[in-house]
Amino acid sequence: MGFDMYKKVAISLCCISLSGCAIDTGRDPNLNNLTGLEFKNLSGNEYIKNYSITSSATGVDLEKAKVCTLRNVTNRDVTLSDSSRSFVGAYTGNYYNLGNKSTSSGGNVVAASSDKSFVVNGSTEYIFDSGLINVKRVVRFTLDLSILEGKVKYTFSNVQQAQTETGTIPNNGFNYIGTWKGASPYHALSSLRSVTSDIDSCLDY
């Protein structure tokens, strides 16, 4: 990839980054079609606070919900990278790509368990089409499960995401998910719905 292309990628990543460039921070209209959302304000911007979903499965007991959750939720380490230290040689005109990588540790899936609730930590991912390149983002979350009238109520909190590769923009790791379109909140929430769908499929089996 030539230097001009790297500049285009940098601009693209800047415009869709989790923080940084001046962007339209109005709420993504797609979020208005979702129920169970709670928001919070930080430094004048709006972010996702909680997201609740009720299971489509019926007649569920918590013990089975625990088993199905552990089969479908993982919390692996995540490798994050950028090329922010890269440069063009003053004399050669060549582009020197100095990659920078770090690991964000996962951890235990189970956070708490009782006869009434089950709490896990996990992660999922999605691909975002920036219009120039495909961007991979990882979403981390805390998930509380409780039984409500024979159905599982899923409540996601501490929801954050990170871009695995940010090009020439420094990778600042996991951040809360903004509600503006450039932060891809709808895609992030869709990835959480995929997690509950996988658990529901196990519950229906």
pLDDT tens string 39-51 = 999 999 999 999 9
Task: Provide the token pair at 78.
Answer: 């995540």
Mean pLDDT of the 163-174 span: 90
Residue 20 has pLDDT above 70, yes or no: no
What is the H or E stretch that residue 204 is in? helix 185-204
Residue 62 — pLDDT band, cuts 50, 70, 90? very high
pLDDT of residue 194: 97
DSSP 3-state of 186: helix
**Which token pair is 14?**
């800047």
Residue type at 191 in one-letter notation: S
User: What ranges do the domains of the chain cover?
Assistant: 3-204
Torsion of CA 66, 67, 72, 78, to 10 degrees: 70
pLDDT of residue 23: 66
> Does the pLDDT value for residue 68 go beyond 70?
yes
Residue 123: name the closest of 170, 158, 169 by CA: 158
Look up tokens 């918590």; give the residue. 62
Burial class (CB in 10 A: 0-12, 13-18, 19+), 71: exposed
Q: What percent of the chain has pLDDT over 90?
A: 65
**Residue 204: what residue type?**
D
Report the alpha-carbon distance of residue 21 to residue 23 in Å, rounded: 6
Q: Which CATH number fits domain 3-204: 3.20.20, 3.30.70, 1.10.1740, 3.30.530?
A: 3.30.530
- Residues recorded for the chain: 205
Burial of residue 115 (CB within 10 Å: 0-12, 13-18, 19+) is: exposed
Per-residue pLDDT band for 132 (boundaries 50, 70, 90) equals confident
pLDDT band with cut points at 50, 70 and 90 for residue 90: low
Which pLDDT value is given to residue 166?
87
Mean pLDDT taken over the chain = 86
